[in-house]
């Protein structure tokens, strides 16, 4: 079984005063992975850039650089892709019964020589460290403690953390910013998918377990009897945890489930800082801008709205 999607992600910046130069880098091209094949992809920038190039970053994500030197009051970046997904979701029963302590010890003591290369071991250890938006501090440890019972399988820990995030915290759009910490999230009890992913990553890293932040999309469906709204889809974020014997296992704490063929992976890194869809600098004498983002992820053969 497979699903093929047409994906359109459009970001529009509107400026109060003319911008003379705009330089940016996008992470808006999905990855080619086992279980996910990119059949076609383009990134369009309007006004047309004077210079552009593609690059594979440290984590293997495909990024696109652009430099716009025409004066403009609006910048539109549109990524279009056709993606075939054959991913099969993990299940608790399908995961090795390795305990979380055994997994953490294997990474810490390097007992993985037969399973991974030295470079891969270094990469795993990097993903146990704190990062810009992930702080495995005392608040996280206290919150996570009930999930890390002695001798519990790592798969059971993943399932429990995702379920607790889904049931103990409220999804509330606009309740946080990119700089919201895990301690602040826990104190207010509400956030968005980015926050929930960061919290689960922090809980795993606090216990010596490698975890990475995954940016991508999930197919959404309108309520019965209603049409899908134009551009109403959005970027999504979830967690990838390393399980000895199974490799990287993707879990979506926002929706309390393992990731399946309804998801499209864009990129991954230590946290959001490594894979924002768009970042850059502008040169202008004015101040102020307005940002709008629209995303459509629809089955191939349907007509994307954007």
Whether 269 is covered by a domain: the verdict is no
On the question of a cis peptide bond just before residue 47, with omega within 30 degrees of 0, the verdict is yes
198 vs 181: CA distance, rounded Å: 9
pLDDT of residue 117: 77
pLDDT of residue 109: 82
pLDDT of residue 304: 56
Among residues 1, 18, 5, which one has the least CA distance to residue 264?
5
pLDDT of residue 102: 94
200 vs 118: CA distance, rounded Å: 26
Whether 264 is covered by a domain: the verdict is no
Whether 268 is covered by a domain: the verdict is no
Whether 306 is covered by a domain: the verdict is no
173 vs 189: CA distance, rounded Å: 13
pLDDT of residue 268: 98
Judge if 116 and 67 occupy the same domain. Answer: no
Helix, strand, or coil (residue 78)? strand
Judge if 79 and 45 occupy the same domain. Answer: yes
192 contacts 175 by C-beta, under 8 angstroms: yes
pLDDT of residue 302: 73
Whether 266 is covered by a domain: the verdict is no
pLDDT of residue 231: 47
Helix, strand, or coil (residue 21)? strand
Give the number of other CB atoms < 10 A from CB of residue 264: 22
Judge if 115 and 254 occupy the same domain. Answer: yes
Whether 94 is covered by a domain: the verdict is no
Judge if 139 and 176 occupy the same domain. Answer: yes
176 contacts 195 by C-beta, under 8 angstroms: yes
- The residue assigned the tokens 């911008």 is 19
How many domains is the chain built from?
2
Judge if 132 and 253 occupy the same domain. Answer: yes
Judge if 187 and 293 occupy the same domain. Answer: no
Give me the torsion for CA of 93, 96, 101, 105, rounded to 10°.
-160
Judge if 46 and 166 occupy the same domain. Answer: no
From first to last of its 306 residues, the chain has per-residue pLDDT tens of: 789 999 999 999 999 999 999 999 999 999 999 999 999 999 999 999 999 999 999 999 999 999 999 999 999 999 999 999 999 999 999 999 999 999 999 998 876 654 677 888 889 999 999 999 999 999 999 999 999 999 999 999 999 999 999 999 999 999 999 899 999 999 999 999 999 999 999 999 999 999 999 999 998 877 666 666 554 577 899 999 999 999 999 999 999 999 999 999 999 999 999 999 999 999 998 888 999 999 999 988 776 556
Whether 249 is covered by a domain: the verdict is yes
Whether 165 is covered by a domain: the verdict is yes
- Domain carrying residue 200: 100-259
- Greatest CA separation for the chain: 62
Among residues 196, 195, 199, 105, which one has the least CA distance to residue 144?
199
- Joined tokens for residue 183: 């301690």
Judge if 226 and 134 occupy the same domain. Answer: yes
Q: What is the CATH number of the domain that holds 56?
A: 2.60.40.2250
Query: What's this model's pTM, rounded to 2 decimal places?
Result: 0.94
Among residues 178, 224, 186, 189, which one has the least CA distance to residue 203?
186
Helix, strand, or coil (residue 203)? helix
Judge if 74 and 147 occupy the same domain. Answer: no
- Joined tokens for residue 207: 């216990």
177 contacts 170 by C-beta, under 8 angstroms: no
Judge if 25 and 152 occupy the same domain. Answer: no
Q: What is the CATH number of the domain that holds 124?
A: 3.10.620.30
Q: How far is CA 14 from the centre of its chain?
A: 26
Judge if 111 and 218 occupy the same domain. Answer: yes
Spell out a b/e string for 114-130, using b for 16 or more CB atoms within 10 Å of the CB, else e: eebeeeebebbeebbee
Judge if 121 and 61 occupy the same domain. Answer: no
């Amino acid at each position: 079984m497979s699903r093929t999607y047409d994906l359109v992600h459009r970001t529009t910046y509107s400026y109060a005063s003319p911008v003379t130069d705009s330089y940016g880098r996008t992470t808006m091209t999905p990855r080619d992975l086992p279980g996910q094949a990119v059949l076609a992809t383009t990134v369009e920038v309007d006004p047309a850039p004077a210079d552009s190039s593609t690059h594979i970053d440290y984590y293997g994500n495909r990024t696109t650089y652009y430099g716009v030197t025409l004066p403009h009051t609006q910048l539109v970046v549109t990524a279009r892709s056709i993606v075939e997904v054959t991913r099969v979701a993990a299940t608790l029963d399908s995961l090795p019964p390795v305990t979380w302590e055994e997994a953490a010890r294997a990474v810490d003591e390097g007992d993985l020589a037969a399973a991974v290369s030295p470079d891969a071991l270094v990469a795993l250890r990097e993903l146990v460290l704190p990062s810009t938006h992930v702080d495995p501090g005392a608040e996280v440890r206290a919150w996570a403690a009930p999930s890390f019972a002695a001798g519990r399988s790592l798969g059971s820990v993943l399932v429990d953390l995702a379920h607790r995030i889904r049931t103990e915290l409220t999804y509330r759009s606009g309740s946080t910013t990119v700089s919201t910490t895990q301690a602040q999230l826990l104190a207010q009890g509400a956030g968005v998918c980015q926050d929930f992913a960061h919290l689960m990553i922090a809980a795993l890293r606090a216990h010596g377990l490698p975890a990475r932040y995954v940016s991508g999309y999930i197919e959404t469906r309108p309520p019965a009897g209603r049409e899908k709204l134009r551009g109403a889809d959005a970027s999504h974020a979830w967690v990838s945890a390393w399980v000895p014997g199974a490799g990287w296992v993707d879990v979506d704490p926002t929706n309390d489930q393992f990731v399946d063929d309804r998801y499209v992976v864009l990129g991954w890194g230590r946290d959001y800082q490594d894979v924002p869809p768009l970042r850059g600098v502008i040169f202008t004498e004015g101040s102020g801008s307005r940002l709008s983002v629209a995303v459509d992820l629809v089955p191939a053969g349907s007509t994307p709205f954007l």
